A and B are shown apart, each in its own frame.
Chain A
Amino acid sequence: MREIDIAQVSDTVCSLFRSACCEIGDDVLSQLRRNLETEESPFGRAVLQQLLDNDRLAAEKQMPICQDTGMAVIFMEIGQDVHFTGGDVNAAIEDGVRRAYRDGCFRASVLTPLERVNTKDNTPAIVHMKLVPGEQVRITAAPKGFGSENMSRLWMLTPSQGVEGVKEAIVETVRLAGGNPCPPVVVGVGIGGTAECAMLMAKHSLTRECGEPSSDPMLAEMERELLARINDLGIGPQGLGGRTTALAVHIEQMHTHIAGLPVAVNMQCHAARHKSAVI
């Protein structure tokens, strides 16, 4: 058994969000550059260039890429031989988020859903924990903006709709979203499971390196086909028309019920922020 002080968890969460909000990953930057070379639309090229300029400036000045520094989504894989010491690990995570948003001058965007009362420190975070073998803790911070989150969709298809029905649902979600989710987007997809599981897979798929194909050859082929179909929609950067509507499609799947075919699409803007660390 390995002991890990919760202060280390809190500090790791804090530094991951500080970095994620200001420094977009090389995975996204290289996709933006690649598409800048192939984009045919003048507005599309101008937007992609602005995004590259913006992302460089944000990193230089250590200011947020986007004013929507999101809800603080966290994935934690906790080794089953880990023992957290020093108090409540949940509180330590919230403390890390609170410090990151305060010290980074990030926006406090979190409020009660009905009364709309802002908590003013961007807590609570959205935390997904999973037990895994071993004695390490892997933490991924993925701040999620709501321009794209709002364009997400759950489709409870029937088995008769099959693979083509799944593909149509995914493309239709992107078409309906148009320019709203800040394209070029990353399209996160979860197929199977239950309703909530499908969306969690879709969300988790967004923590993959942007454009890295699925390890499942069938899903990887589906990702390639869907990316081409989505980019044929013509929506383009910011919805102003062009070839670059999506940078990547990421799909995860799991077993589902004989009566069902859930498909969740979690839309991610070009600020596809995610940083990980292992304790």
Chain B
Amino acid sequence: MEREIHAPLLQEEIADLRAGDTVLLSGTIYTGRDAAHKRLCDRVRAGEALPFDVRNQVIYYAGPCPAKPGDAIGSCGPTTSYRMDAYAPMLCDLGLIGMIGKGQRAQSVVEAIQRNGGVYFAATGGAGALIASSVKSARVIAFEDLGTEAIRELKVERMPLIVAIDAHGGNLYEQGPAAYRR
């Protein structure tokens, strides 16, 4: 039974999520990948305002394809998360509550998730066409010059995700393979 959750997320809403839980996420989320993360963190270091308040928000590590006429977005699967590990703890400490991506995270990110009561979700990499059908609208809100790497505000409905790393020490990228290793 998949649980429905709504972004922006409240800490109470996700406190009992555990690695291996499946959820359907609806609401507003933001895309951001390599270049956008670099700019966000540069702004924080410079004491400048961010293009959106990250508190209680979810960032989706994704760089979509351009939308075909009549579509909300093009193919839109997750990109590999470890490249954002250098930036994620800073954003978590500012209140970012959720991240969506694929693949293992650095220990510094795992600790930031625990410290702040956050969550890291896995989406299925390479299922870009399928995931696009969960996206109802998309608009660029910052760094338009970055093209696909711009920050987009997405309205999503029932986006299927798996809790990969929770705030309580659970990590599906460790538990899963350990159960099947020979």
A243 at the interface (CB under 8 A from B): yes
From residue B75, how far is it (CB to closest CB) to chain A in Å? 4
With A54-B127, A68-B79 as known contacts, state yes or no: A241 contacts B180, CB within 8 Å. Answer: yes
Question: A55-63, A124-132, A217-225: which one contacts chain B?
Answer: A55-63
A67 close to B74 (CB less than 8 A): yes
From residue B90, how far is it (CB to closest CB) to chain A in Å? 20
A64 close to B75 (CB less than 8 A): yes
**C-alpha gap A264/B103 in the complex (Å):** 23
Contacts of B176 in A (CB 8 A): 41, 43, 234, 236, 239-242
From residue A42, how far is it (CB to closest CB) to chain B in Å? 10
B132 close to A63 (CB less than 8 A): yes
A12 at the interface (CB under 8 A from B): no
Contacts of B20 in A (CB 8 A): 43
B178 close to A241 (CB less than 8 A): yes
A66 close to B177 (CB less than 8 A): no
With A107-B66, A179-B173, A234-B178 as known contacts, state yes or no: A53 contacts B125, CB within 8 Å. Answer: no
Question: Which A residue sits closest to B124, measured CB to CB?
Answer: A50
Contacts of A67 in B (CB 8 A): 62-65, 74-77, 128, 148
Question: Which A residue sits closest to B19, measured CB to CB?
Answer: A240
A216 at the interface (CB under 8 A from B): no
Contacts of B122 in A (CB 8 A): 238, 240
With A147-B125, A180-B80 as known contacts, state yes or no: A242 contacts B180, CB within 8 Å. Answer: yes
From residue A232, how far is it (CB to closest CB) to chain B in Å? 4
B44 at the interface (CB under 8 A from A): no
A41 close to B180 (CB less than 8 A): yes
**C-alpha gap A243/B128 in the complex (Å):** 23
Contacts of A65 in B (CB 8 A): 75, 126, 128-129
B124 close to A238 (CB less than 8 A): yes
A91 at the interface (CB under 8 A from B): no
Q: Using a Cβ cutoff of 8 Å, how many contacts connect chains A and B?
A: 159
B152 at the interface (CB under 8 A from A): no
**C-alpha gap A269/B78 in the complex (Å):** 13
B104 close to A180 (CB less than 8 A): yes
A234 close to B65 (CB less than 8 A): no
**C-alpha gap A182/B173 in the complex (Å):** 13
B162 close to A240 (CB less than 8 A): yes
B82 at the interface (CB under 8 A from A): yes
**C-alpha gap A270/B164 in the complex (Å):** 20
A257 at the interface (CB under 8 A from B): no
B94 at the interface (CB under 8 A from A): no
With A54-B127, A241-B177 as known contacts, state yes or no: A108 contacts B147, CB within 8 Å. Answer: yes
Contact of A51 among B65, B76, B124 (CB under 8 A): B124
Contacts of B82 in A (CB 8 A): 180
From residue B124, how far is it (CB to closest CB) to chain A in Å? 5
A58 close to B125 (CB less than 8 A): no
Name 13 extra pairs, CB < 8 A, besides A150-B80, A180-B103, A271-B126: A54-B126, A63-B132, A66-B77, A67-B74, A67-B128, A106-B65, A147-B102, A180-B80, A180-B104, A182-B102, A182-B126, A236-B180, A240-B122
